[in-house]
Each structure stands twice: as C-alpha cells, then as structure tokens.
Structure 1
Amino acid sequence: MFQRSCVLAALLAGISSQSVAQVMPLAEAAKRFGARETVVGADLSPSGRKVAFLSAGAGPATMAKILDLDTSKLTTLLASRGTPDNLDWCGFASEARLVCRYGGNVPYEGLLVGVSRMISVGADGSNLRELGVRRSFDAQVRQFDGSIIDWLPGSGGSILMARSYVPQANDTGTRLTSSTSGLGVDRIDLNTMRSSPVEKPRDNVSRYLSDGNGNVRILSVDEVAAQQLTGVTRHRFRMAGSKEWLELGQYNRRDNSGIWPLAVDASINSVYVLESLNGRDALYRITLDASRWKTLVASNDKVDIGGVVRLGDGHPVIGYTYTDERSHTVYFDVEHHQLAAALAKALPDTPLIHFVSASEDGKTLLVHASADTDPGVFYLLDRATRQMKPIMVSREELEGQTLAPVKPITYRAADGAIIPAYLTMAKGGPQTHRPAVVLPHGGPSSRDYWGFDWLAQFLAARGYAVIQPNFRGSAGYGSEHLGENAFRDWKSAMSDIADSADYLVTQGIADPDRIAIVGWSYGGYAALQSATLTPDRFKAVVAIAPVTDLMMLKADAAGFTNEELTRAFIGAGDHVRAGSPLQNSARIKSPVLLVHGDMDINVAVRHSVRMNEALQGRGADVQFLQYKGLDHYLEDGSVRAEMLTKMGELLDRTIGK
C-alpha cells in the first residue's frame, strides 16, 4: 500500500492523456486535501529494520504503527481518540521498546490548559508504562511530564528524561508532604522502569541539553519576577567531567538578543548556538571549556540561519539549514555533501530531501523527499550498497494527483519594500484574469516555505491563483523585516497583504473583481482585519481559528506566567482598538466564514463566537462552523473536509472558479 512504484504507471498515463488540467470537483477536492497525513513523525529502529510512525485514523483518531521492513507486517501499537487526547509522536528507545507522547487541552480552574503525558510501550504493543513522576496527591496541576533529552544509543533501552516535579500534598490536602518542584533529569531503564536521579529538580529551569552520551551539559533558566516571565533565559554549561555549572550566556526574547543553544556535539566538546549578527540569526560554535571560545560557523546576508542537522540521536552535527526562496542544507564534510548531491540527482523531482532518522550504526538511513507538487515519500537507504527503495508515502489520498507548481516571487510594497511570496497556480486553464485567493500565514512571527501546502493546493485544484505573502512581521528574514511584530505593527503587515493582491492584478494574473482572502490563526486575523480596512477589495473572507480582538487576546493570557510578555508583545494604545476586527466589524461588507475548535488554547473560541454574534447582529452574511473537542489545528479529516466544502461553496458563489 505504500509503494510509490505502484502508482507510477497510472500517473504517467494520466499526464500523457491530459493536456489541460481540469478543476477538481469540490466533493473530491475536499475529501482528498482534507485527509490527514498517512505517515508523520517516522523513526527508524536501532537495527534499521523497523519504522515507527503516526497515521491518521477515522475522524480525529491517530494511530501509532510499526512497519517491519523485512516482512512488510504493519502493527498498530496505540490509538488516541483525538478529543481531547491525541498522540503527538513515538520513537524507538531500543529495538524492543518505544517512547510516545500524547496530550490534549483540558479545563482546569476556569482555564483551558494543555496537558501532555509520556509513556513507554513494547514494540508489540504490550506492557505500557507511564514515564512521568508518579505522585499520589499533587498540590498543583502537572501539565507536562517532561521530555527526552538523551536516547542513550547503545544502552539497550535506557533514556535520560527531563521530568517535571510538583509539590505533593497528603490525602486531605492540608499539608505538603514534599516540596520538591521544578524540572530535573532522571535516567530511566525502560525494561525495569527503575529510575535514578541525574539532576535534582530546579525551579524555573525550562530545558536541559545532553551531549548524546549521557552527560547533561546545558541547562536554561527562565527569569521570573512576581510570578511572571521576564523574557530573559539564562544558559549555563558544564565542562567535561565537571559537576559545576558555569555561565554561558543569555537570551532575551523581547529583542531577540543573546544566544540560543541548539545542540551539543560531544565529538568537538562544543555547543551550537544561534545569535543575531547584523540583524539576522547566525550560527556559532562555543567550546564547552574554560575558554568558551566562540566561532562563527555560518551566516547569510539575506535570511536567518535556521538550525543544525544530524543523522540521528547521538550522532554529530553534520550541517546547518537556511531558507531563502527555498530551503537549503549545507554539510560540513565532503561525505555527507556527496551523499546529499547523489540523492538530489537520483530524485530530481523531489528536491526537498531530509535525513529523518538513522540506525544506531549509521549505516541505514530513513530519508524523506518531497516537493511543491509532491507531499513526499519515505525511502530506506543502505549507505554501504547505495541502494534505496521507497517504503511509505506521506499522503495516500493524493497519490497520482497532479498538483499545482509553487513559484517563489517578490513584489514591491507601497513604501518600496521588497516582499517575498509564493504563487501557487495550476498549469492548465487560463493563466490570466483568474479568480484568486490571498493566503496569509499564521504566527504572526512565522513564515511560508516553498513546498507542499495542503490548503494552498486545495484552492489551486479548484482553479484559484493563490498568493502567500511573507509580509513584514514574518520570521526568517532578519530583525528589520520582523519589525516590532505583526500585532504591534499590524498596519505594515496589512499593507503588505493588500499589496500582494494588487500584485496579482497588475501582473494580469487575477481578476480584480474576483479576489478573496483566507487565513488560519494570525492569518484569520489578517483576513478579517483586511476586510475592515478595505471592504471592497476582498469578495469573501474565510477566517480559521482567528484572533478577532487584541484586548481579548491580552485577557486570554491572564492567570498564566506569560501574561506580561503577551501584554508587551501586543502593546497598548490606539492601535489595539483600531487593529481589532471585532471592534470594527461594521465595516465588513463581504460574506464571512468562521471556523473554530472549542478546545483551542492558542486562540480561544470566544474570538469567533463574539465575531459571529457581531456580524449576525447587523444582518451580515456569516457562517460559523464550531467544532466540539478540537483544538487550534482541527486534526480531523472529516472536519477538514467539511470546512473545505463550505469554503469552496463560499468561494464559488463569490468569486467563481
């Protein structure tokens, strides 16, 4: 069922017999593009003979599966309902045992909070064990069990886990029997479930980094004042063989200053960090010794360095990434550079090639290759024989489908700034005066990338030209492009988004009377806010999980430790009311589709509820799809299909296809 070769003949036949692309029927497009991924989060076993992955089940359900590469046998280990519990990932700790994380959003003392739990399970699905600290009567909620900081390759099934401790009360709740709290590190033998302390729990510690050989070398402490995060994180390190913590540096998220550790490489006794250089994130290497010698590894004069690359757990860092028009990986050594070049030559139609995972000896690699017109294929590569075979596809529902190419473009904003964007448009049919959709991204400090995007491809399959602007406020292009952020400076972001629509018109791509705007999260906010600023520009508005009121967004953070950071991020003053679609809803003329899950902790569902009430109150054309039990991402294939159907119907009647 996973073999790409099974569909090649049919795909080629379809291409040869079809000279003009046809608009995909709405019901089919909604089903195919709304379907969740068949394979996500794949991980190779230590032997290289098994692959664990998550796969979408019916509706919001998710299953953890193992594929035996020798027998092709597929085993389901676990399943989650998806409302509210959902599997996040699973990975091999040994050939016999895996670690998985699941979580969900739950009500707690009047707030909706995210909770996650870690478990271990046998490779045959048996002997499930909890990995979090087991306490009888916690005095406060334990949101997160912790995280795996070292898989301890070669240990036979032990891990280093950063574990969350909370104070423990007696069964009457009147007295603390243990005041231990904070984040500590324990070594856990998954075969016996015996644990031993490695680092005592410390309050305000947010993360630890190991060197991959069982040694904790970095800890990060979040600065807190009056029970509120200040935005400053202080990093400390240990020299090899020492127990003493020494200062490494700090990071301030308010102005993106300082260093952020990414990975420790034991082979060179160093940590790789990101730090701003000339307004863009650059990659440095700092030796973890008394000298703390810092060396510039890589920088780019146009974009930020993204991160580092390693073949698998415990393996050395082999390169780094950056993204301009497309994503790139630069390898430090000739061997991996040549390997990547050989893969690119062997897979020219899927240039986005990633080393997903490696066997313990590094001789077998799990590789994922994708493109703008291909959601991707997983390959197994034997480095000794250079033989590679496809084993799984990312999205079975889209196998054999001809998808629309994505073209990187730039356009000039009203003030002369150059804004990068992506244009997705099917090759068949008219290439000018099309109906078009502006699709701003979420975040706000995120960005769009060249590659497969299921929402953009759905719209293109329905005949629309789709532009995705990386407006000012988007991440990845340096501090000047990021600016204050796209909430404080929403005017620049909205202006850039409007200019992307103008670009489509001036280039002859779009019919000026047939342009709509669709967005998710911040993109949903941008869609609604754009409709208040230029009511006649967009003929339809689709807002999925949108922020609708900036004051409400600040209020949503009340009671959490990031409350003050959120208030500072959004700011105060006239721009807050002027930048809130809810406060200016009377200006919206176009039909609106609102979509929201009622368990959303990223953006509370009340944003859409209030917006729907405001629009209905004045008799506006509005439809509201509210989904019970789902969070910000609407991880439910049937729900996504319904959402795409309603979206398609709205676009058909307002801008045509």
Structure 2
Amino acid sequence: MKHWICLAGLSAASPAAAQDFDAAAAFGAREYVEQASLSPDGTKLAYVVPLKGQGSGVFVVPLDGSAAPKAIAASDGKPERVSGCRWASNTRLLCTVYGVVRLPEGLIVSTRLTTMDHDGSNMKVLSHTRGTGEQLGYATFGGSVIDWNPGTDGQVMMIRQYVPETTTGTRLAQKQEGLGVDLVDARTLQSRTVELASRDAAEFFTDGKGNVRMMGRVQARDGYTTGVRTYSYRRKGSKAWEALSTVGPDRAGFDPYGIDPALDVAYGLRRVDGRLAAYTRALDGSGAEKLVYAHPQMDVTGFARIGRNGRIIGATYSTDIPSVEYFDPAVSKLVKSLAKALPKLPLIRVVDSSEDENRLLIWAGSDIDPGRYYLFDRTAKTLNEVALARPQLEKAKLAEMRHITYRAADGTMVPAYLTLPTQGSTKGIRAIVLPHGGPGARDDWGFDWLSQYFASQGFAVLQPNFRGSTGYGDAWFQKNGFQSWKTAIGDVNDAGRWLVSEGIADPAKLAIFGWSYGGYAALQSAATEPGLFKRVVAVAPVTDLDRFKSDSAIYSSHREVERFVGSGPHIEQGSPARHAAAIKAPVLIFHGDMDRNVAVGHAQLMHDKLKAAGAKSELVIFPGLDHYLEDSEARTQMLQKSAAFLKAP
C-alpha cells in the first residue's frame, strides 16, 4: 500500500512547519477533495477542489500515473459553484453547477447540468428543453440524473424541469409543466421523452437498466406542499401505474429509496414502534413487505450503495459510531477485509466504482484522521492511497473524540461526544458546549473541524445529542427542537453543568458555540440561564420563531415549515430575540447575507435587540455567502475571531 498519486495542489497544500502552522487557516479550509468519481472503466479519476472564495475547480487524472492531473473546468463561486461531477462515459463528464441567487421574490437555489469531454472541451448545458416562446416562470432546477447506465454508452436518464411558454404564432412553444424524465445523449444533447412532465411529480426511480419503475407525487394546497407524498410503481414490462404507498410528515408509510431489479423489490424505510426500519416491498403486484433490518435502539437512517447506479447493499444507522448492516455478503466480506488493512481508519465507505465493480474508490477516516481516498483493485488485490481530504492537517496532532453520556435534570442519560485538548491540562480549563444544527440532525463520531480547532486552542468541547436530535426514535425526537425547546435547551444547559461537575470546565470560562439551530440553542440557553455560559457565539442562528415561519412564505414548503415550528406559547417563550434583555453574556454573531436557510435578518434582529438592552454584541456579516459559509478565508476569520472572543477575560 503506497501513496502513488500526487493530486493537483497536494504539495502546495502540505502543512507548514510546526512553528508556522496556522490552526485557523488549516482547520477552516474547505476539504481539498470535495467530491470524486471513477470513470466506468476505472482508469480515470475526476475530482472537485476548492478555489478562492466559493470557487471550485474540476480536475481529471489517469490512475496509472502516466500523466499529471489536469484542470479542465472552474467556477468562481459568484454565484456559480460546482457541487460534483460524474462520468457519463469513459470520455464524457456531467457536472452539477449551482448558486444562490436573489430574485425579486427572494433568495433561491438555481442549478444547471453541464457536460464536457474529459479534457474540458466540447462543454454544453444539459438542463433545458425549450420551444420558441417566452417562459412563464423560472426554471431554477437544472435536472438530475437518475440512471447512469440506461443501455447506451454516453446516454443518461435524467429528471428535467419543464416551464410552459407563451405561444408565438407557431406550434413550437413548450407547453409541458413540472418534472419529467428524458433520455439524453451527453455528447450530442439529443433527447427523447421517457415520462411526460407532471406538475405534482417530485421523484422518479429507475431499475438501473433504463426503466422508470417508481414515481413520487407531492400533495399541495393553495400552492404549498403539505408534506404528504404518494408513490406509484410499475410491474416489469408494464406502463401502467399502480399505488405503492403514502408517506406523511410522520413517515408512517413505506418511504421508497431505490429498486433492486434482480429481486424485483423496492427498498425503503417505515416507522415501526417509534423507530425507522428498513423494508423491501415487492413490485410484482403482491405488495408483500419484508423487514430487512431494524435496530433495537436506533433509527435506520438510509441505505449504503455501490456502483454507478447506486445498487443498495446495506442499511445505515448510528449508535455511538456510524455503522452499516450489509445485505450483500460479498460487500460485507470486502469491507471487513478493508477494515483489517486500515485498522486505524474505522470509518470506511465506498465512494464510487468502475462499471464492473472491480475497481472501487474508498474513503476511510476516523476522529483523528480527516479522511483519505484509496483505489482498491479487487482483481489485483491492491489498495493504493490516492488523496488526502485535508492535507493541511496531515502532520497536525488531532484530539480524540470520546462518546460519553451525562445525566439531564430529569434523570435522562443524554449521549454526547467529548473532545479534550491534546496538550496541557484537561481539568479546570476553558470549555465549549457545541450543540448541532438541524434541529432534525445529530452529531456522529468522526473528524469535526470545529471541535478539533477549538481543542487545538486548549478548549474542551462537548457535543450533545440533546432530545430533539434525530436517529434515536420518536420518543427522543419529541415534537422537535423548536416545539420541544424547553427539553432540548435544558439538555444543552445540562451539558454545560456536566462539564463543570466533572471538573473539566472552569465555571468562569464556560462558553457555548452553535451554528444554525445550534446558534438558536446557544442564544436561547443564554436567555434561559443567564449565568451558565459566560460567552456566546451564534452562527446563522434562528432568533424569532414567528419570523422563521414567515420567511418561508415565498417557498412551496411554507406550510410544512409552519407545521414543523408550530403555534402556541412556545413561539414567544422560545424566541431568543424576544428575551434579549435576559442575556448577560457577551455575544458574537456571524451570518452570510445570502442565507436561504435562515435569513440574515435573524442575526440583525438579535444584534439590535441586544444592543438596545445594553448587552455586549458584535455582528459579522459575510457578503455573498450562504448558510454554510463555504469560503476558506471566511471560515478562517470566523475561527480566529471566535477563539479570541472566547479567550477574552
């Protein structure tokens, strides 16, 4: 096993000498390999790397080492960004380009599919089919590929958005509306309609062999989606749609994820006894369901896949570490052998594979290893390292993340992850509670750039999976972290008290840092228990629940957001901006002004309320950045400023 390819920029991104190591820049940098894909024959690798700002570059390299990586395309991030590229054939790539743009109605995410040769030539836009009329609306969805191998090399089956057009005195104006499916040649752009567009269509599934077998439709009322989806399927060789399932916001019905054509079944999740479990449902007309995996304590979160068409091979879940229950014995054996070959990298996933699945692109990492990519050849039985996810940290000493539980005020044991500094004392030190975003999310064991940075600065970091986190079943999720904010925030506060009771945190130097819902939790914690946290950092926080609901009015999901946030006394009680006068700790807030998830007005409102109440507050707005601040320089600035703020007397 050897490091046999030096990808573009790897040497330039190598860590500086120890005395010159800039921790904020190293930890704040975007991952060097943001996405990667193997060509169908397994001989070439395409990968996306970060450029200045939010920019992205696309590189291609032959895996036999015969040539250096070649840059074939780039975007400047203003607003176009490349989210990923995959191979339509051995010589043709498809890349998804997206950006957050401001329309008169508000911020929207716009996507486009582009296709090019492996050297970057012959670039074309794949997204739209238009007639001769003027479009009667915005085509913001550029399409997505649902079948990479529909039968002819270089062709893909893709979902496209159709926007009707005005007539212009001819019959060539486009009249379809909604999502449809086309078979498209990535070289010539010639296309054939496979499924006519439908206004309520939301999902299509193929069997990986060019046959559309399932479709999902959204239910809408007054232009807003209700959160209910209905699914239909086709039997083999039939064009007739038959009812499959209905899935509501509670996910009680069979929620399909993919198809196994050999077994003629759909894989999906169904809620049983308060937890999500993995099932198959027959597509032969019998409707027979079979439980394939259920964990006694945890939700099944999804499915592991392999191959160009995402063949489902296992069910994913997380206890204290992300895990997979494999259905495929051969893949299970393969992963076990890889685990033996990489004993220090227990987190292993198959990123991509050649058409025949003999060559696999593997990612492996741990809590103290940000991850590295390997090429595994099943025939030659070789495993070669090809790239580092974060080369800047290759020589850095990282801190171990330990799974712990602490007791909440009502006696409930709350799971969490504790990261202690690698050097110096681990008792009576500065400490941070770091609640996750979401709130429909959870933290997992593995490398975390935020906790690792703060550990490098001498902080202990505790990341609680408070009640309201996902993955632990309905009873743990409760009504969600907004409607059940008292329980969720209580667990967050109890995390701080645990750090003090264990002697880890100096109570005079206990702080809280949160992003998105975590930012909301940080501010709400400071409002409900003013003396607990001595300093507060909130990134892109929700600060007023009514405002959060009204912000979504321009989007089709508005009714779903209203249902999720709810109505009642918790709106006033659970909005930190309405209780700014109760916050005694200094507050530092960061926000991007192109944030579609949480409008920047939330940060401005909170800052204004704090200043009006005489509290110490500083607001940093990043122009042109969205919710995730995907800009290495901005993240570096945020880390540097946060560390200085949290260390201030």
TM-score, reference length from structure 2: 0.95
Corresponding residue of 2:153: 156
Map Cα deviations across residues 614-644 of structure 1 (whole Å, 9 max, x no partner): 2223342222111111110101001111111
SS in 1 for 2:253: strand
1:141 matched to which residue of 2? 138
Q: Which residue of 2 aligns with 1:337?
A: 332
Alignment length (residue pairs): 633
Partner of 2:245: 249
CA pair 608-544 structure 1, distance change in 2 beyond 3 A: same
SS of the counterpart of 1:558? helix
CA distance in 1, matches of 2:99, 2:277: 35
**Contact 2:4 2:384 (C-alpha < 8 Å) held by counterparts:** no
**1:194 alignment partner in structure 2:** 190
Quote the Cα distance in structure 2 between the aligned partners of 1:114 and 1:60.
Answer: 15
State the 1:177 CA deviation.
4.3
From 37, 43, 59, the equivalent of 2:37 is 43
Instruction: Check the 8 A contact 2:421/2:457 in 1, yes or no.
Output: no
2:549 touches 2:565 (CA, 8 Å); kept in 1? yes
User: Of 51, 55, 61, which residue of structure 2 is paired with 1:67?
Assistant: 61
Partners of 1:26 and 1:555 in 2: CA distance = 48
CA deviation after TM superposition for structure 1 residue 176, in Å: 11
Deviation at 1:4, TM superposition (A): 8.7
Q: Deviations over 1:227-249 (max 9, x none)?
A: 12111100000001100000000
Please say if residues 286 and 294 of structure 1, whose CA atoms lie closer than 8 Å, have aligned partners that are also in contact. yes
C-alpha offsets along residues 454-486 of structure 1, whole Å, 9 cap, x if unaligned?
Answer: 011101110111010011111111111111111
Write the letter of the residue equivalent to 1:41: Q
**Structure 2 match to 1:430:** 425
Asked if the contact 1:519–1:527 (Cα under 8 Å) also holds between the matched residues in 2, the reply is: yes
Counterpart CA distance in 2 for 1:535 and 1:379 is: 49
Q: Does the residue aligned with 2:349 lie in a helix, a strand or coil?
A: strand
Give me the whole-angstrom Cα distance separating, in 2, the residues matched to 1:652 and 1:316. Answer: 49
Contact 1:378–1:391 (Cα < 8 Å) also in 2: yes
Partner of residue 201, structure 2: 205
Post-superposition shift, 1:207? 0.7
**Among candidates 228, 247, 268, match of residue 263 of structure 2:** 268
Q: CA deviation at 1:316?
A: 3.6
How much has 1:72 moved relative to structure 2? 4.5
Deviation sequence 1:48-93 (CA, Å, 0-9, x none): 1111111111222111111221224211122111232211111111
**Aligned with residue 29 of structure 1, among 23, 28, 39:** 23
Q: How far apart in 1 are the matches of 2:20 and 2:277?
A: 45
Q: Which residue of 1 aligns with 2:408?
A: 413
Kindly provide the CA deviation profile for residues 322-366 of structure 1, in whole angstroms up to 9, marking residues without a partner as x.
110001122224322221111111111110000111101111010
| Residues in 2 aligned to 1:138 and 1:408: alpha-carbon distance in whole angstroms | 54
**Unpaired runs of at least 5, structure 2:** 7-17
What displacement does 1:392 show?
0.5
Do the aligned partners of 2:246 and 2:253 also contact (CA within 8 Å) in 1? yes
1:407 offset after TM fit, Å? 0.5
Q: Match for 1:183: what amino acid?
A: L
1:620 alignment partner, one of 594, 615, 623: 615
CA displacement at 1:605 relative to structure 2:
0.5
Quote the Cα distance in structure 2 between the aligned partners of 1:310 and 1:639: 34
1:590 and 1:555 map into 2 onto residues whose CA distance is 29
Contiguous gaps of at least 5 residues in structure 1: 7-23
Of 358, 378, 387, 1:383 maps to: 378
Greater CA drift, 355-364 or 617-626: 617-626
Query: Is contact 1:153-1:360 (8 Å) kept?
Result: no
Q: Counterparts of 1:530-545 in structure 2 under 5 Å?
A: 530-545=525-540
Q: Alpha carbons of 1:153 and 1:177: their partners in 2 closer, same or farther (altered >3 Å)?
A: closer
Q: Distance in 1 between matches of 2:328 and 2:26?
A: 41
**Conserved 8 A contact 2:432-2:459:** yes
Distance 1:579 1:314 in 2: 44
2:436 is matched with: 441
Q: How does 1:15-414 map to 2 (within 5 A)?
A: 28-70=22-64, 71-135=66-130, 137-152=134-149, 155-170=152-167, 177-253=173-249, 255-314=250-309, 316-414=311-409
Helix, strand or coil at the partner of 1:262: strand
Distance 2:344 2:395 in 1: 14
Aligned-residue offset at 1:203: 1.1
| Residues in 2 aligned to 1:176 and 1:397: alpha-carbon distance in whole angstroms | 55
TM-score (norm 1): 0.94
CA contact (8 A) 2:53 2:633 kept: yes
Partners of 2:428 and 2:502 in 1: CA distance? 9
CA offset at residue 25 of structure 1? 8.8
Is the deviation greater in 437-446 or in 309-318? 309-318
| Matched AA of 1:201 | A
Is the alpha carbon distance of 1:317 and 1:560 closer, same or farther for their aligned partners in structure 2, counting shifts above 3 Å?
A: closer
The reply to whether residue 641 of structure 1 matches residue 636 of structure 2 is yes
Alignment of 1:557-576 (within 5 A): 557-576=552-571
AA partner of residue 497 (structure 1): V
Identify the match of residue 584 of structure 1 among 579, 582, 602: 579
Q: Is the 8 A contact 1:490 1:579 kept in 2?
A: yes
Report the CA distance shift for 1:624/1:4 in structure 2 as closer, same or farther (over 3 A): farther
**Identity value in percent:** 42
Cα contact 1:153–1:314 (8 A) shared by 2: no
Query: Separation in 1 of the partners of 2:196 and 2:397?
Result: 55
Counterpart of 1:194, as a letter, is: Q
**Shift of the alpha carbon at 1:134?**
3.5
Given that 2:322 and 2:347 are in contact with CA atoms closer than 8 Å, whether structure 1 keeps it comes out as yes
Q: Single out whichever of 206-215 and 318-327 deviates more from structure 2.
A: 318-327
Residues 180-231 of structure 1 deviation map (CA, whole Å, 9 limit, x = unaligned): 1011000001122100000010111111011111111110000112212111
Please list the CA deviations of residues 117-146 of structure 1 after superposition, one character each: whole Å capped at 9, or x if unmatched: 111111110111111123352100111022
C-alpha RMSD of matched pairs (Å) = 1.9
Distance 1:475 1:199 in 2: 35
Q: How far, CA to CA, are the matches of 1:491 and 1:615 in structure 2? A: 22
